[in-house]
Amino acid sequence: MTDVDPVDFEQKVRQLEDLMARLQRLMHIRHTPHRFGLTTSQVFILRFLDKVGCAKASDIARVAGLSPGAVTQVCDELVRLRLVQRKRSADDRRVVNVSLTEEGRQRLEHIRSVQVRRLMEVLYQLGPDDTEAFLRIMRRLVETVESLPPAEE
């Protein structure tokens, strides 16, 4: 990293915090899963299950950063909504796997299509050059954050 004025750098960090909070708030208010009758955690779990096929609640908890009890509650509601199903493993009857139902796949596809259309509107407003720059910076930001050790309390 090059020489940075600490005061200027701190101001930029605060600007970034403010912009990220504003963007998160706007996305939550205008584009959140609750508009689809689901919570953010429910949609996260649906997306995860769509990616991996099926998973144990403990695996979902680890990836989602939720407690096993919270995952059980979220999955209970998703089962009630007929979006996921639980099945005992044929190999180990103690293991219960969670997977998407066809209704869950359809609901997730609807959510994705609405979100993709909305993101396309946003990127169209940015234009091709700013979109490319934004994607390049986001990739770099994600790679940088992934390479950092966990934050200490």
Per-residue confidence of the chain (153 residues) as pLDDT tens digits? 567 787 788 899 899 899 988 887 777 666 656 678 898 899 999 999 999 999 999 999 999 989 999 999 999 999 999 999 999 988 888 889 999 999 999 999 999 898 888 889 989 999 999 999 999 999 999 999 889 998 776
Model pTM above 0.85: no
What pLDDT is stored for residue 40 in this prediction? Answer: 84
**AA identity, residue 43:** V
Indicate the domain borders of the chain.
11-147
The CATH number fitting domain 11-147, selected from 1.10.10.10, 3.40.50.620, 1.20.272.10, 1.10.3720.10: 1.10.10.10
CA distance 99 to 112: 18
Give start and end residues of each alpha helix (H) in the chain. Answer: 6-31, 40-52, 57-64, 68-80, 102-126, 128-147
Of the CA atoms within 13 Å of residue 3, those in its CB half-sphere come to: 0
